[in-house]
Chain A
Amino acid sequence: MPIERTTIVTLGCVLGGAVLLAGLNLFAPAASPLHVPDFAISLVGKYLCYAILALSVDLVWGYVGILTLGHAAFFALGGYAMGMYLMREIGARGVYANPTLPDFMIFIGWNKLPWYWYGSEHFWLALLMVVLVPGVLAGVFGWFAFRSRVSGVYLSIITQALTYALMLAFFRNDMGFGGNNGMTDFKDILGVPLNRESTSVGLMLITAGVLSAAFLLARAMTRSRFGKVLVAVRDAESRTRFLGYRPESYKLVVWVVSAVIAGIGGALYVPQVGIINPSEFAPANSIEAVIWVAVGGRGTLSGAILGAVLVNLGKTWLTSALPEVWLFAMGGLFIFVTLFLPRGIIGLFVGRRSAVGPARESAAEEAAAREAAE
């Protein structure tokens, strides 16, 4: 079956590619043309984090039709949870040499750790928060939104408002998360210096492993009976109600899982890029993530990963070669893909029948029109 092949190819590319690049970085002599420079390793690590975010977007957009324009919020929250731990790891090595308080708190005149920073020096607690904070926020948000049957463009607008509100909140210094500078100058993670090259290789490999695990989890979910109900809800929500399903509970489960995956992606991102600040909440970031998924192929999971890596490769190249062109290029790409590649790049390779991709546009529109008329 082609879908099995896609799964194997995807895992092979992610894991095999990561191990190959790591090996060429560590063991190929610096003079060799095969040597992979350090900056490339951290770029790949970053792309893989974006791929995790894209995967989480595809899970909700591709399979249950929630066009989220605020998923970077969960990514950033996971990042902040990790950033708090990394801040505390600095300890007395900060500019103000305070063993407990991060520099930015001293800078704004605080002399005591706020309650919500308690325990942030523990790595295990950071990991717990990486999962809990995006998960609980998504749970509360989704519970209200899906129960009141907010859907379509209205839901998209609320997700956008959510990330925008968080951005404004995190910009404030008295939130206690470093205001507009955010958190940076991290020294080490679990006692391992972050500036060592083997650390970035290790983080990149861990990210590839987490991405593969998230991919397998998402794949198992979408191929189960649960996943079939998701697709049914996406294309004919009111029909599922008359069959006795509660679409809101299905949406809530997949929404929370997706938010947690995004949060984990963010937590892996922060130690690799060395900074987290409120601009990660910017609405444009969430929209970019949607474009990655559209380019790669919505509702395929593999396409999300492919799209995230390819678009970001293009972005890295274009923003250094022709920085002023990038936004136009991305907009043009989105229009091109929507018009000419509705099933994304992956649609070019995988047969039409194997993927449970979105219904043809006409059928989806018909269903929408019918629901509106009812």
Chain B
Amino acid sequence: MSDGSVLYLDGVTVSFDGFKALNELSLVLEPGEMRAVIGPNGAGKTTMMDVITGKTRPDAGRVIFGDDIDLTRLDEPAIARLGIGRKFQRPTVFEPLSVRDNLLLSLTGDRSPRFALWARETAEERRRLDGLLATIRLSAERDQRAADLSHGQKQWLEIGMLLAQEPRLLLVDEPVAGMTDAETAETVELLREINRTRSVVVVEHDMAFVRALGVKVTVLHEGSVLAEGSIDAIQDNPRVVEVYLGR
């Protein structure tokens, strides 16, 4: 069933004290696909991200990454090492460290304490860091503390950290919350660029942003998929209208 898909959620159920945050949620993401996930508050969007990244263990169901890796058996670091990156809503960077060190710690490579104790920066790492700094337009700020960056620059830095991980799948939580229209447009471009080489799941409230992305949309409601399709089909769907307006 998961043949060829990059991510396959199969009947995933998560309950907190009897409340079902996810209720037999199923979802298939094709390789190279970008998917937008929308839904009212409490629909289970963040819980879904938590399950995929290993933060929350589901009560039932499977989460298959690639051909046959069941993510529900793994913890966060193991899943991250498989190539699943996660961007939080608020930018989370390592404030006291320099921009460059933030990226250095994010580069793919050995994550063990033993390696880190003896690690010397290699020419290859330097090359990759220079490339990343250019991509996120922070070459001039490379030696600044991340704490001293502006809000927007921190967002870029975090995206750079995710790119440094070279993930196969990127999960992005409300990337344009609190952004101006210009920044939102720029973020759409950036996500499209990232999507050229990786699969992306974007969770978002902002309908204009989702429309601008122009990708397949999944609507969650009470922990299950309510509807799936193009943004136009979704907005005409009477059940979706009822859920959003009935609130």
Cβ contacts under 8 Å, B105 to chain A: 225, 228-229, 232, 240, 243, 245
A242 in contact with B86 given A225-B104, A225-B105 (CB within 8 Å): yes
A interface, how many residues as a size bin? 20 to 34
Per-position contact with B for A223-262: 1 when CB-CB < 8 Å, else 0? 0111011011001101111111110011001000000000
A236, B147: Cβ atoms under 8 Å? no
| A353: interface (CB < 8 Å) | yes
Closest to A355 in B: B96
Cβ contacts under 8 Å, A243 to chain B: 80, 105-106, 111, 161, 165
Cβ contacts under 8 Å, B119 to chain A: 224-226
Cβ contacts under 8 Å, A229 to chain B: 105, 113, 116
B96, A357: Cβ atoms under 8 Å? yes
Per-position contact with A for B106-119: 1 when CB-CB < 8 Å, else 0? 10000111001111
Candidates A242, A250, A353; contact of B113 at CB < 8 Å: A250
The binding surface of chain B is classed by DSSP as mixed
B96, A356: Cβ atoms under 8 Å? yes
Closest to A233 in B: B94
Cβ contacts under 8 Å, B192 to chain A: none
Interfacial residues of chain B within 64-98, with CB under 8 A of chain A in the complex:
75-78, 80-81, 85-86, 88, 90, 92-97
B116, A225: Cβ atoms under 8 Å? yes
| A327: interface (CB < 8 Å) | no
How far in angstroms is the closest Cβ of chain A from B35? 20
Cβ contacts under 8 Å, A359 to chain B: 95-96, 147
| B101: interface (CB < 8 Å) | yes
Cβ contacts under 8 Å, B145 to chain A: 353
Cβ contacts under 8 Å, B112 to chain A: 249
A235 in contact with B117 given A228-B101, A242-B85 (CB within 8 Å): no
A244 in contact with B81 given A359-B95, A359-B96 (CB within 8 Å): yes
CA–CA, A249 to B113, complex, Å?
A: 7
CA–CA, A358 to B94, complex, Å?
A: 11
| A370: interface (CB < 8 Å) | yes
A231, B81: Cβ atoms under 8 Å? no
| A360: interface (CB < 8 Å) | yes
Per-position contact with B for A16-59: 1 when CB-CB < 8 Å, else 0? 00000000000000000000000000000000000000000000
Interfacial residues of chain B within 111-160, with CB under 8 A of chain A in the complex:
111-113, 116-119, 145, 147
A231, B94: Cβ atoms under 8 Å? yes
Cβ contacts under 8 Å, A228 to chain B: 94, 97, 101, 104-105, 116
Please list the 4 inter-chain residue pairs (A to B) with the smallest Cβ-Cβ separation, ordered nearest first. A244-B80, A241-B76, A226-B116, A225-B119
